[in-house]
């Protein structure tokens, strides 16, 4: 059976989205929405697996993430934006899927393993945390998703998703769910402003899509450059220099950047001058997003309504998927 190509992605609403999210996924979604049917999910339940004690934080960020989507140009006419907790069918399907996964398989998922070690759960590992990849499989297939744009760290979840749906299809002898492909974007990794490999909220080194022009200027001025480039005339290092990492990625004038690198290496080009250029480049990119965001933010209820209407649409799709599932599982009771 041929399955339609359908894109599904999601984000945990634990904070506003930053430039790393933009480069690594949001930008691609804006392109994908013109090619495929696309769903984007705000994973509030998954966020609660980490922040069960901070529901108000998660709730607040549902709106922030939705605003970020609209700000970057995810168009609700083309992309269905929805909220995970409003689709109870996901939880239902998760329960069914749990029969097809062993605890040892769950414990072997390398991404989960890392997270468990990082969080230091040990004997107190919450069952809900351990099974989140199963819930993620349900997120994807409830809308019959087949393409999932993800970061490298999510690939083990895609592999687990395919194991689950293969087991399901085989068990009930019907190809209800199509193979899921994880698409890792080939974009260069954006470092944090401190030069750490990853931009993240928890490291406090992020530039947010909602940052004001002043905040951006302040962050760029603090960016890690070359600690040995003390006097303007000293030769400077381009490798590992965050300002050049960003200019390489965001500055459309490639030749100018090549020139600047040569000049910096020779000596005679000051950090401040370089940083001023980057501030301009980032404001050209983020400025229009900031304006669009501010405009949407004037009517938060209208923004929530977009996600609520998207969720209603997804419920209809989910009900159809569950009809098929219930049918093969002999759970289709009728009077």
Residue numbers of the site for ligand TRP (CB under 6 A)? 8-12, 43, 46, 136, 139-140, 148, 150, 154
Judge whether 293 and 68 are in contact, CB under 8 Å. yes
CA distance 80 to 33: 9
Q: Is the Cα torsion angle 21, 113, 155, 159 positive or negative in sign?
A: negative
Nearer to ligand TRP, 43 or 93 (CB): 43
DSSP β-bridge partners for residue 8: 39
Q: Which two tokens stand for residue 272?
A: 């401040």
Nearer to ligand TRP, 43 or 257 (CB): 43
Nearer to ligand TRP, 8 or 274 (CB): 8
Nearer to ligand TRP, 46 or 191 (CB): 46
Q: Which two tokens stand for residue 320?
A: 């159809």
Nearest residue to ligand TRP, by Cβ distance, number only: 10
CA distance 282 to 287: 8
Residue 131, number of CB atoms within 10 A of its CB: 20
Nearer to ligand TRP, 136 or 210 (CB): 136
Which has the closest alpha carbon to 291: 221, 213, 219, 205?
A: 213
Residue 126, number of CB atoms within 10 A of its CB: 13
């Amino acid at each position: 059976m041929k399955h339609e190509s359908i894109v599904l992605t999601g984000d945990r609403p634990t904070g506003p989205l930053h430039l790393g999210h933009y480069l690594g996924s949001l930008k691609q979604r804006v392109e994908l929405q013109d090619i495929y049917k696309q769903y984007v999910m705000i994973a509030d339940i998954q966020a609660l697996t980490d922040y069960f004690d901070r529901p108000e934080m998660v709730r607040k960020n549902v709106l922030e993430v939705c605003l970020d989507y609209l700000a970057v140009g995810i168009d609700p006419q083309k992309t269905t934006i929805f909220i995970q907790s409003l689709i109870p069918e996901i939880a239902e399907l998760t329960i069914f899927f749990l029969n097809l996964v062993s605890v040892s398989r769950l414990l072997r998922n390398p991404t989960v393993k890392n997270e468990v070690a990082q969080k230091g759960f040990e004997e107190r590992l919450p069952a809900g945390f351990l099974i989140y990849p199963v819930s993620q499989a349900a997120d994807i297939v409830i809308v019959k998703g087949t393409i999932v744009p993800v970061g490298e760290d999510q690939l083990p979840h895609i592999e687990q998703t395919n194991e689950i749906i293969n087991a399901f299809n085989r068990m009930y002898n019907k190809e209800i769910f199509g193979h899921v492909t994880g698409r890792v974007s080939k974009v260069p990794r954006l470092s944090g402003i401190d030069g750490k490999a990853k931009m993240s909220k928890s490291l406090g080194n992020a530039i947010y899509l909602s940052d004001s022009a002043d905040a951006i200027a302040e962050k760029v001025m603090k960016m890690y450059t070359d600690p040995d480039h003390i006097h303007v005339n000293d030769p400077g290092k381009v490798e590992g220099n965050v300002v050049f990492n960003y200019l390489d990625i965001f500055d459309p004038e490639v030749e100018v950047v090549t020139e600047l690198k040569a000049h910096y290496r020779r000596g005679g080009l000051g950090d401040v001058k370089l940083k001023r250029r980057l501030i301009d480049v980032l404001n050209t990119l983020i400025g229009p997003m900031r304006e669009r965001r501010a405009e949407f933010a004037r009517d938060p209820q209208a923004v929530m309504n977009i996600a609520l209407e998207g969720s209603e649409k997804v419920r209809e799709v989910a009900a159809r998927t569950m009809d098929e599932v219930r049918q093969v599982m002999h759970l289709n009771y009728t009077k």
